[in-house]
Amino acid sequence: QTDFNGTTTVSDMVAVIAGDERVFTVQPNPASSSSVRLPSARPGRELEVRTMQGHLVAHMPITGTDLLLPQLPSGAYMLVELDPRTGRTRHCRWVRE
């Protein structure tokens, strides 16, 4: 980087995740049952189900693309896919009818 006064600074390279890399989809959405499909699921990761206020209501391992979520009241939830090795997360808003 070169500042207005002509001073040059070199910074370390940093990787940035851009775009929708941090988002995934769930089907059906909205859903009338607890059976859902995560087309881009990554086995070995974990799934958290949170209220829109951030309260954890369920936590389970991802073993495939089809999951049975717990019976939940109607409303909007945030599904969070967590990679326990790296701490990276992906998110999806899901509605239970």
User: pLDDT tens digits, residue range 30-87?
Assistant: 999 999 999 988 889 999 999 999 999 999 999 999 999 989 999 999 999 999 999 9
Q: What are the helix (H) ranges across the chain?
A: none
Q: Which two tokens stand for residue 72?
A: 């939940």
Nearest Cα neighbor of 23 from 4, 8, 39 is: 39
The domain limits of the chain are 35-96
DSSP 25: -
pLDDT of residue 17: 52
